[in-house]
Amino acid sequence: MEHIGKYTKYGFVKELYYTIEHSWAKVMPDGSARIGITDFAQKSLGPIIGLELPKKNDAIVQMASFGAIESSKIVSDLYAPLSGIVKEVNRNLFDDPELINLDPFGDGWIIDISPDNLEEELEKLMSGDAAIKWIRGEVENTGEPVS
Amino acid sequence: MLPSNGYGGKWKIQESRYHEQAGSLEMMFPNKGFCVNIPLIGYQRAWDIQKRIVSAKTDGYFRDTILILEHPPVITVGRSGNLKNLRVKKEELKKKGIDLYHVERGGDITYHGPGQIVGYPVVYFERYGYRHRRYIYELEEVIIRVLDDLGIRCRRHPELRGVWVGDQKIASVGVAVKGHVAFHGFALNVDPNFEHFAMINPCGSSPDKMTSVGFIAGEEINSIAVRKGIVEHFKEVFKLDLEEISLERLEFMVKNVDRSQIDV
């Protein structure tokens, strides 16, 4: 995991696929896709106190809202990086939504889906160096120095 | 040629689409907004206007707009709220003519009524370099400066948010974000009806924890001056140039989004 930012270190995993809404997708060995939000997003929201998520077998659509995430006094939509059918919802989040704050790229994963159109949709997302460039821009936009 | 004002990638997409539509140079430097001062407006109507502004801002472009108003007595429940914080039966609310709304903002249950000044900034909150938590912080900043002017020492509360005087709450904050637009906002107690507050556990706390400007100052407060203070400090904190317009003009512009941007 890399860290971007001179003062606040924003964790970043360049092998994942990102949307500009700060959601990420990870292609799992069995072909499913795991979805979560970035370290930048969780730091921006603050301690997470609740989530509104789809159920198993619900369909989600790339770049459309698939739920909501709430921190103290503010609620924001969650945007799907890929389209597909929900296979699994991270049940640990119901007891401990702050897992998203503690480990946004790992234990704080949000849902697993069976993607409908993986190859085509991955092309619309950012990854690798393009993603690094984007997150550096996001950090710059906050007014903080990147390095 | 887009201005280099640190908006970042995603704004370029909106701005260039906008530029095609309006072709107006003025619109490429959108640090201008609208301010609408409304004496009294029903909750539903104010909520509808906000949602329409949000759509206009999401589908194309609409200036950042702040509504400053008061509501007739109403109780609203945010996303994390639940009715166990309602201390009276729903029938009693009905008898008093007080409506109850479940809304998409963050935060728990709260009360709005005459004597409480409510602000609904509907803004591309990220354009100010703000992320969610910082946006809340800056809304609180606006209120803190207003109270400073009134000689009231106040502070933020690290976990609970809002603005506090000692261990009592004088202003609440509850925001929703749809795409890149924040709406709902804040509420400052100037001289509200505390008997109404007693019907709920506001934001999950005991109703005794609520206080007001009038209560602390011990005298009648000029609420028009407070509203003015809110607008001025909002302009300062968000570095936004606000044009005051009427509610009717705002409603007209939101209905006719494309045309109005060219005229304005």
The predicted complex's ipTM stands at 0.73
In this prediction, residue B41 carries a pLDDT of 97
- Is A73 within 8 Å of B161 when comparing Cβ atoms? yes
B203 is catalytic: yes
Query: Any idea what the CATH number is for the domain that residue A59 is in?
Result: 2.40.50.100
Residue A65 lies in a domain: yes
> Given B35, B36, B203, B213, which residue is catalytic?
B203
The answer to whether position A147 is within a domain reads: no
In a domain, A48, yes or no: yes
Q: For each successive 10 residues of chain B (264 residues), what is the average pLDDT?
A: 34 38 41 94 96 90 94 92 88 93 90 97 83 89 96 88 93 91 96 93 85 91 94 94 95 75 42
- Rounded to a whole number of angstroms, the distance from the CA of A29 to the nearest CA of chain B is 31
Q: Which tokens go with B137? A: 């912080």
Cross-sheet strand order for the sheet of B109-112 = B99-102, B74-77, B109-112
Q: Residue B164: its chain A contacts at CB < 8 A?
A: none
pLDDT at A83: 97
> What is the least distance, in Å, from the CA of A90 to any CA of chain B?
19
pLDDT attached to residue B26: 37
- Per the structure, the count of domains in chain A is 1
Q: Does A43 touch chain B (CB under 8 A)?
A: yes
Q: Which domain holds residue A116?
A: 2-138
Residue type, B88: V
A49: in domain: yes
Query: Is A145 within a domain?
Result: no
Please state, in angstroms and rounded to a whole number, the distance separating the CA atoms of residues B253 and B230: 24
User: What is the reported pLDDT for B145?
Assistant: 97
**Rounded Cα–Cα distance for residues B111 and B88 (Å):** 13
B133 and A49: CB-CB below 8 Å?
A: no
The DSSP bridge pattern shows strands A59-60 and A84-89 to be: antiparallel
- For residue A146, being part of any structural domain is answered with no
In a domain, A143, yes or no: no
A74 located within any domain: yes
Provide the whole-model pTM: 0.82
Q: Nearest CA of chain A to the CA of B263: how many Å?
A: 31
